[in-house]
Amino acid sequence: MDEDEKSAFSEAMKDVVKLSQKKKRVESNKNRALRRLAGGASASRLLEETLADAYTIDVSNLPEYMEGHVEGLNPLTMERLKNGEFSIQKNLDLHGYSKEVARELFEKFLKEAIIAGLQCVRIIHGRGLKSKEKPVLKERLKAWILRAMNRKWIVAFSSCKMCDGGPGATYILLRKTPRS
């Protein structure tokens, strides 16, 4: 290092103070969130607490097909999700459950998937063809996903390809860390 570099470095470092060995290091938000999840905090409470700002969510909703993603997602990632190119790491089948029980199962499933660091999961909800008016669980699932998206964990969702359940199932792409 020449003299100019040394003086520039000294100038930049003048306000730096050495930390005492007694002080704890700052824990990352991801580690804090995962530790609290593992400690029994409810997924909904944790996701609520990690919400710092509302994010724009782009949702497409056709009669039987649904998809959505956070703003700024690479279009190729969404295309890969729609094409079923991500490995499904865990499944949840909600057939036959009431909407209240299904929501509890979904929240528990999401919590476990986040703790396990999973990237892509599938929720099987059915098409709702036997429902009196419109699909109950399918519509509820979309609302739960959108709430979860606001809470930083879900990147995108899409109705599955026919070989994976078609419009009766949904792929969900998860983050490994909450969106900051």
Tell me whether residue 5 is in a domain: no
Please give the model's pTM, rounded to 2 decimal places.
0.64
Q: pLDDT tens digit string along 150-165?
A: 567 888 999 999 999 9
Q: Which domain holds residue 140?
A: 29-174
Distance (Å) of CA 141 to CA 12, 35, 134: 52, 26, 13
Q: What is the pLDDT of residue 140?
A: 85
Tell me whether residue 19 is in a domain: no
Tell me whether residue 21 is in a domain: no
- CATH value at residue 119: 3.30.1370.110
Tell me whether residue 180 is in a domain: no
Contact between 169 and 122 (Cβ < 8 Å): yes
When divided into structural domains, the chain yields a total of 1
Q: What is the pLDDT of residue 51?
A: 41
Tell me whether residue 13 is in a domain: no
Tell me whether residue 37 is in a domain: yes
Q: What is the CA radius of gyration of the chain?
A: 21
Q: What is the pLDDT of residue 54?
A: 41
Tell me whether residue 107 is in a domain: yes
Strands 154-159 and 169-174: antiparallel
Q: pLDDT band at 52, cuts 50/70/90?
A: very low
Give percent of the chain above pLDDT 90: 31
Q: pLDDT tens digit string along 117-141?
A: 999 999 998 876 666 666 678 888 8
Q: pLDDT tens digit string along 69-92?
A: 888 888 899 999 999 999 999 999
3-state class (DSSP) for residue 140? helix
What does the alpha-carbon distance between residue 165 and residue 35 come to, in Å, rounded to a whole number?
34
Give, as one character, the DSSP assignment of residue 151.
Answer: T
* pLDDT value at 38 more than 80: no
Strands 154-159 and 66-70: antiparallel
